[in-house]
Amino acid sequence: MGTVSVFPLGVKMDSELTRSQAYIEGGKVKETKGLISELCRHFYNQGWVSGTGGSITIKVHDESIPKPQQLIVMSPSGVQKERMVESDMYVLSPEGSVLSAPSPKPYPHKPPKCSDCAPLFIKAYEMRNAGAVIHSHGMESCLATMINPFSKEFRVTHMEMIKGIQGHGYYDQLVVPIIENTAHERELTDSLAAAIQAYPRTTAVLVRNHGIYIWGDSWISAKTQAECYHYLFDAAIKLHQLGLDWSTPSHGPIRSLNGALGYSRNASMPNVGASDANNNNDPSMQCIVLDIEGTTTPISFVSEVLFPYAQENVGKHLDVTYDSIETQEDMELLRIQVEEDLKNGVDGAVPIPPHDARKEDVIEALVTNVKAMIKADRKITALKQLQGHIWKTGFKNNDINVDGVVFDDVPEALEKWTALGIKVYIFSSGSRLAQRLIFGNTNYGDLRKYLCGFFDTTVGNKRETKSYIEIAESIGVNNSSEILFVTDVYQEAVAAKAAGWEVVISVRPGNGPLPEKHRFRTINSFAEI
- Asked if 137 contacts 211 with a C-beta cutoff of 8 angstroms, the reply is yes
Q: Which residues are identified as catalytic?
A: 160
* Short-list 214, 190, 189, CA closest to 202: 214
Between CA 504 and CA 487 the distance in angstroms is 7
- Asked if 169 contacts 163 with a C-beta cutoff of 8 angstroms, the reply is yes
Which residues, including other chains, have CB under 8 Å from residue 165's CB and lie 6 or more apart?
Answer: 174, 203, 225, 228, 229
Three-state secondary structure call for residue 505: strand
| CA dihedral for 79, 80, 85, 86, sign (positive or negative) | positive
* Short-list 173, 499, 451, 159, CA closest to 289: 451
Q: Which amino acid is at 475?
A: I
> Torsion angle of alpha carbons 294, 296, 301, 306, nearest 10°?
-100
* Short-list 441, 505, 452, 446, CA closest to 477: 452
60 phi and psi, to 5 degrees?
A: -75, 105
- Asked if 510 contacts 299 with a C-beta cutoff of 8 angstroms, the reply is yes
Q: What is the DSSP code (8-state) at residue 134? A: E
Which residues, including other chains, have CB under 8 Å from residue 359's CB and lie 6 or more apart?
Answer: 319, 322
Residue 494: half-sphere exposure toward Cβ, Cα within 13 Å: 9
- Asked if 313 contacts 321 with a C-beta cutoff of 8 angstroms, the reply is no
Annotated binding site for substrate: 117, 428-429, 462
87 phi and psi, to 5 degrees?
A: -70, -5
Between CA 311 and CA 285 the distance in angstroms is 39
Annotated binding site for Mg(2+): 291, 293, 488
For residues 105-127, one letter each, b for 16 or more C-beta atoms within 10 angstroms of the residue's C-beta and e for the rest, the string is eeeeeeebebbbbbbbbbbbbee
| Number of C-beta neighbours around residue 89 at 10 A | 27
Three-state secondary structure call for residue 87: helix
Please tell me whether the peptide bond between 108 and the residue prior to it is cis, using omega within 30 degrees of 0.
yes
Annotated binding site for Zn(2+): 135, 137, 210
| CA dihedral for 370, 374, 375, 377, sign (positive or negative) | positive
- Asked if 262 contacts 155 with a C-beta cutoff of 8 angstroms, the reply is yes
Annotated binding site: 117, 135, 137, 210, 291, 293, 428-429, 462, 488
